[in-house]
């Protein structure tokens, strides 16, 4: 019988990337989260921390965007490939990966690594995508060409072949085991694809109508059905900007402080969390590292910290 996930060490890796975003600053997110007390917080929970440092990324000033519909695509591919390998190594060593972003394009590497590791054991993973945005654009549909709006599409097998090749297979995760929570900003092409593919989505409208706990429990049923467990990709812009001001792409009307913590506590209760990433913290836009500190609180909730 395999070791319980909750007792495993946590392998931290930072990915200081902002090439996928439309504005600079998320490259400083991993440092902001670390400086907010991440490692001491984990250790107080009795969790062994294995800090793997940072994925090496070329300075943006040394690279050109290239294609206007696929900005910095080659460099983002290199970064995600390195992250994929790092995540696989953490899992092979018996730890749970905790990835600190960086913009949301890094999710392609995180998910590729986790999915490949469990595929070697003939097991599937689920994917919980907590985000204000769907991130289901492709180079053909993206209004900006920014790749942080494309990772979920790529993971699900719809996008540029270079990035889809990061996974052990394409799609990396079965769409029936994917749930998006907190959605409130969707481009037209993404809306059509959600409807055509039948992706499970819980918008803020549905959350307001039926209650957050109900929606979150349904999402967790989706990502755990017939899977070994699930990866969580947590974009800090899923929270309302009043609560988390330092994010790459703020959208009003997001999750409250308590809803975000409830999400993380429910994730921990499943005891099926395989890997976790927190992305889009932008210290340039923050207020005295409020968002970095909140990111640490949410990570600790995902990994078992409770009020009592």
Count of CB atoms within 10 A of residue 158's CB?
20
Q: Is the pLDDT of residue 3 over 80?
A: no
Which structural domains are found in the chain, ordered by start? Answer: 5-302 (3.40.800.10)
Q: Is the pLDDT of residue 27 over 50?
A: yes
pLDDT tens by residue, 208-234: 999 999 999 999 999 999 999 999 999
d(CA 201, CA 225): 16
- Known catalytic residues are 104, 131, 133, 135, 148, 235, 237, 280
Q: Is the pLDDT of residue 95 over 50?
A: yes
Q: Is the pLDDT of residue 141 over 90?
A: yes
Sorting pLDDT into bands at 50, 70 and 90, what band is 39?
very high
Q: Is 252 exposed, middle or buried (0-12, 13-18, 19+ CB in 10 A)?
A: exposed
ω into 40 cis (within 30 of 0): no
Average pLDDT in the 279-306 region?
97
- pLDDT for the residue 306: 87
Q: Is the pLDDT of residue 70 over 70?
A: yes
d(CA 275, CA 92): 13
Sorting pLDDT into bands at 50, 70 and 90, what band is 23?
confident
């Amino acid at each position: 019988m395999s070791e319980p996930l909750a007792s495993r060490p946590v392998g931290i890796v930072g990915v200081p990337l902002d090439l996928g975003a439309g504005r600079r600053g998320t490259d400083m997110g991993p440092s902001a989260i670390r400086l907010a007390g991440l490692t001491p917080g984990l250790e107080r929970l009795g969790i062994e921390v294995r800090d793997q440092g940072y994925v090496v990324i070329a300075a943006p000033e040394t690279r050109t965007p290239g294609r206007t519909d696929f900005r910095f695509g080659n460099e983002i591919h290199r970064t995600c490939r390195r992250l994929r390998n790092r995540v696989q190594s953490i899992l092979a060593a018996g730890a749970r990966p905790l990835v600190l972003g960086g913009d949301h394009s890094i999710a392609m590497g995180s998910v590729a690594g986790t999915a490949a590791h469990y595929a070697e054991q003939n097991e599937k993973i689920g994917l919980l995508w907590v985000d204000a945005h769907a991130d289901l654009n492709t180079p053909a549909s993206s209004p900006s060409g920014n790749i942080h709006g494309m990772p979920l599409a790529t993971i699900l097998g719809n996008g540029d072949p270079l990035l889809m090749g990061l996974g052990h297979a394409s799609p990396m995760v079965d769409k029936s085991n994917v749930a998006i929570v907190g959605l409130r900003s969707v481009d037209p092409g993404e809306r059509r694809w959600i409807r055509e593919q039948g992706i499970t989505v819980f918008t803020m409208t549905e959350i307001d109508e039926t209650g957050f706990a109900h929606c979150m429990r349904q999402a967790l049923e989706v990502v755990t059905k017939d899977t070994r467990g699930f990866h969580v990709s947590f974009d800090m812009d899923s929270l309302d900007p009043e609560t988390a001001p330092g994010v790459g792409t703020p959208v009003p009307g997001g999750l409250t402080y308590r809803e975000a913590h409830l999400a993380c506590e429910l994730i921990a209760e499943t005891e099926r969390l395989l890997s976790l990433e927190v992305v889009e913290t932008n210290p340039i836009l923050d207020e005295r590292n409020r968002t970095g500190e909140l990111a640490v609180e949410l990570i600790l909730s995902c990994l078992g910290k409770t009020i009592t």
